[in-house]
Amino acid sequence: MTRRLALVLLSGLLLPGSLAHAQDPPIEQGVRIGITYTPGLRPGMLVLGGPHTELLDSARAILQRDLDYSDHFEIIALPSSDDLVLGITATDDAGAPVDDVYVNYSLYSALGADYAVAVLPGADSLEHVVAVYDVKGESERRRVRLAAMDPLSQEFRMAVHRASDVVVEAVTGVPGIAATRLLFISRGSLYRIDADGANQIQVSQPGATAFSSTWHPDGTRAVYSELEQGWGKLILHDFISGTGRVIPGTEEQLNISPTISPDGGMVAFTRIAEEANEVYRYNLARDCCLERLTVGRFSDNLSPTFSPDGRQIAFVTTRAGGTQIYVMSADGTGQELFAPFDYGVTGNSNAPDWSPDGINITFHRVVAGSPQIFIMETRSRVVQQLSSAGRNEDPTWAPDGRHLAFISGRTGRRQVWVIDVETGRVRQLTRVGEARLPAWSPRIRE
């Protein structure tokens, strides 16, 4: 076999709009994050160009955005008009690529890259390859197979998201969060959206009024509250079949704020009743056995969230006067104050959510009349305020324990925003009329 060398030019390195993704948008007036973001401390990542097809170009665009949103890398963005040669790809006489690829490590290093990633045509038309290169070590770190499919389909986007997460894992040892989704409420309907803000679809039935939701740990189901004539039943929705069923025992009263145990066996929720608001649980695994976990005694108990090991439940109660975060065993015993607070300095606390690694819990707390996002380290119980102005509420953890989605009114309307807790970088996720009560999924498996 003879070979000819095809130059891969810098004009193929970046897709239109990549410069915009590489720069952090300024934090708007009215919302400040209590963390300093210092560029230049993360490893540089270079997304390489290559042969142009609709599928390959779409994959590169999604991949670059995913890696940027992971907040693990400084994405290296250069003017696409530059004609500097970046690499040389080997092809056969017919112009088809062969396995050998010349990787110009010295040039990538000179551009500031610690790692590079390429989307390459496969040996046939049925699959392609995502390759990760260690620039400093001058070696290939990982290869991911990417099946050829309609580049406009949701399946293709999710396949690229999964490849992006493998790239993050190959570099950091921890998978990314591109292959995740969020639920949120807008104008009484429940919607689902990808973690990059694409593929927004309505989940709840047209005409029905939906409220708070939670994901099942398998990522294929969710539980949400459907309101009707003052009552609210809990619906267990299956995303694969598109069908849902009422969880027994929730047909009466107003049942909201569901949370599912990490093993998927229990759902805990708040029941709003005339005599008191209490935390209940239902055994999903046995499909039976409704139990009350709290007893009001002139106080309200609501908004439960399971710990990652399933042994504890954090919840909100008014027994100390205002609403504060308490914790109890999963069977309702051992209830005690969890998140310390300063009387006269901070106000009511609400909407707790336990991080997937168990290290932190997040919630919003009123400061100077407006809710702000807080996190608390669960062992030391040290509380840190993340936001400091404007209204910021209803935080929910991503499966990496590093990112939070929350509701902010910084644009004049309440929308879902995402913050990287380690750097303080924020981005807007939704652009709907109004958004409320986000819930972040586990990683979506194949």
The neighbouring-strand residues paired with 143 are 131
**Are 88 and 100 spatial neighbours (Cβ–Cβ below 8 Å)?**
no
d(CA 336, CA 193): 36
The pLDDT of residue 94 is: 55
Instruction: Enter the tokens of residue 413.
Output: 């309307």
Plot region of 217 (φ>0 → left; ψ -120 to 50 → alpha; else → beta): alpha
> What's the confidence (pLDDT) of residue 426?
94
Residue that the structure tokens 């919840």 belong to: 315
Range(s) within the chain of domains with CATH label 2.120.10.30: 181-440
Contact, 33 vs 27, CB < 8 A? yes
Contact 248, 265 (CB under 8 A): no
The pLDDT score that the predictor gives to residue 341 is 78
User: What is the spatial distance between Cα 237 and Cα 234, in angstroms, rounded to a whole number?
Assistant: 9
| pLDDT score of 53 | 87
Is the CB of residue 383 less than 8 Å from the CB of residue 367? Answer: no
- Count of C-beta atoms within a 10 Å radius of residue 276: 16
The H-assigned helical ranges of 234-366 are none
Q: How many CA atoms lie within 13 A of 197 on its CB side?
A: 13
CATH entry, 4-172, from 3.40.50.10070, 3.40.630.10, 3.60.15.10, 3.40.50.300: 3.40.50.10070
* Angstrom distance (rounded) from CA 246 to CA 348: 32
What string of pLDDT tens digits covers the 446 residues of the chain?
322 223 333 333 333 333 333 333 333 433 444 444 454 589 999 999 888 889 999 999 999 999 999 999 999 976 553 433 355 454 455 555 555 567 889 999 999 999 999 998 877 777 889 999 999 999 999 999 998 888 889 999 999 999 999 999 999 999 999 999 999 999 999 999 999 999 999 999 999 999 999 999 999 999 999 999 889 999 999 999 999 999 999 999 999 999 999 999 999 999 998 888 999 999 999 999 999 999 977 789 999 999 999 999 999 999 888 899 999 999 999 999 999 877 667 789 999 999 999 999 999 999 988 999 999 999 999 999 998 868 999 999 999 999 999 999 988 899 999 999 999 999 999 998 899 999 999 999 98
DSSP SS3 for 299: coil
- Using alpha carbons, list the distances in angstroms from residue 158 to 69, 118, 163, 323: 15, 18, 9, 40
CA distances from 223 to 177, 185, 202, 249 (A): 21, 13, 14, 14
CA separation for the pair 287, 267 (Å, rounded): 10
Residues 6+ apart with CB under 8 A from 173: none
Separation CA 184–CA 439 (nearest Å): 6
The pLDDT value recorded for residue 21 is 34
The vertex-198 CA angle with 195 and 200, nearest 5°, equals 100
Q: What one-letter code names the amino acid at 208?
A: A
> How many angstroms separate the CA atoms of 255 and 258, rounded?
8
How far is the C-alpha of 266 from the C-alpha of 418, rounded, in Å?
28
Go through 302-337 and write b for each residue having 16 or more CB atoms within 10 A of its CB, e for each that does not.
bbbbbbeebebbbbbbbbeebbbbbbbebebeebee
The size of the chain, in residues, is 446
* b/e per residue 121-146 (b: at least 16 CB within 10 A): beeeeeebbbbbbbbeeeeebbebeb
**CB-based contact 276:296 (threshold 8 Å):** yes
Token pair, residue 83, equals 């004609």
Chain-centre distance for alpha carbon 57: 24
pTM over 0.85: yes
Quote the tokens at residue 263: 């093993």
Q: Chain-centre distance of CA 419, in angstroms? A: 10
Indicate where the chain has its CATH 3.40.50.10070 domain(s): 4-172
Tokens 């390195």 locate to 13
The full 3-state SS of 216-258, as one line of letters, equals CCCCCEEEEEEEECCEEEEEEEECCCCEEEECCCCCCCEEEEE
- Does domain 181-440 match CATH 2.60.40.1230? no
Q: Could you give the CA distance from residue 169 to residue 233 in angstroms, rounded to a whole number?
A: 40
Asked whether the beta carbons of 317 and 329 are under 8 A apart, the reply is: no
